[in-house]
Amino acid sequence: MRGLILGCILLGLVLSMGCVDQIFPQEQPPPEEPAPEVPNPAAENCADNGYGYKIETGASGEYGVCTYQGEECDEWDLYRGDCCFRDSDCRCSAGETAECENNECSCIAPEPEENETEPEPGPEPEPEPEEAAPGHTNKTVGELVDYGLANVNSEFYSEHPSGNFQIETYTWVIGSRDIKPNELPVGGTGDVAIRFNGDKDPNMKGFGFKSYIPMENGEPVEDSLVESRAVGVFSSQFPMIHIYETNGMTLKIDYYPTGKTLYGCVIEDKEEYLAEDDSHVMLYYFYCVDTGPLVTS
């Protein structure tokens, strides 16, 4: 009899525990929200003006094209006002009249009124000092990348006179061999290997960076940030990266050749040169807070 009573008691406890689980279910953690995507300002400009948009594939990879009534403009040319569909696409100064004809912009200054009297001329302002014209360079893309990396390495150690770091160096040049910045790449170029906030710059010719891994007792310091300094060579005075510089945007740089991602990057400086044919060559310098494996999402 005592065993029967004890069995009934145990059965009652088991059943009551099941009821508690049903009345008080365990809370599930909320789903993680995906990281917000950084918009492409040139593509947004195309959509905001009511134009069509499509992706084309060229020698340097994919690029965006805005379309309107059978006409086409590169998305970044339209964004800068170098190509137009309508007068409103032109970037003219205040008071000037914008005209778009054959996809080219003209900015017309206003004519003075007939009865308008000109003011008495005042004292002539002192002339502003002229900016020095950019110098010519005979360096190849690879030589410019090496030159820039030597500069960032000196800057890093001037800022970190003490400390033990392991340095990893990565370089990339478009094409199968080194070329001058104004030359076309040789051999298969494939897809553009560097992306800035997911975007590819068709004017990029070379890129390199140095990662500085903090070390202690011969081992990397656990959970420490890996700072990187990077340089990029562009065959244009106003490459796509100029938009990010103007807007002061922070960049995530994806480096596909060895599967690395540079985080929290900002443009610190740039140097302007002229190639042998007087075309513009830009050397950009980047500072990046951390470095890790390639993350494309």
pLDDT at 239: 85
Question: In the predicted model, is pLDDT for residue 52 greater than 80?
Answer: yes
pLDDT at 38: 60
* pLDDT band at residue 202 under the 50/70/90 scheme: confident
Q: Which range (10-24, 72-86, 104-118, 223-237) has the least confidence? A: 10-24
Average of per-residue pLDDT across 116-120: 64
Higher-confidence residue: 121 or 297? 121
pLDDT at 91: 86
Question: In the predicted model, is pLDDT for residue 35 greater than 60?
Answer: no
Question: In the predicted model, is pLDDT for residue 20 greater than 50?
Answer: no
* pLDDT band at residue 2 under the 50/70/90 scheme: low
Exposure on the CB side of residue 62, measured as CA atoms within 13 A? 8
Count Cβ atoms within 10 A of the Cβ of residue 46 and give its class: 0-12 exposed, 13-18 middle, 19 or more buried: buried
125-146 per-position pLDDT tens digit? 777 666 677 899 999 999 999 9
Per-chain mean pLDDT for the chain? 84
Count Cβ atoms within 10 A of the Cβ of residue 32 and give its class: 0-12 exposed, 13-18 middle, 19 or more buried: exposed
Average of per-residue pLDDT across 164-182: 93
pLDDT at 189: 57
pLDDT at 23: 45
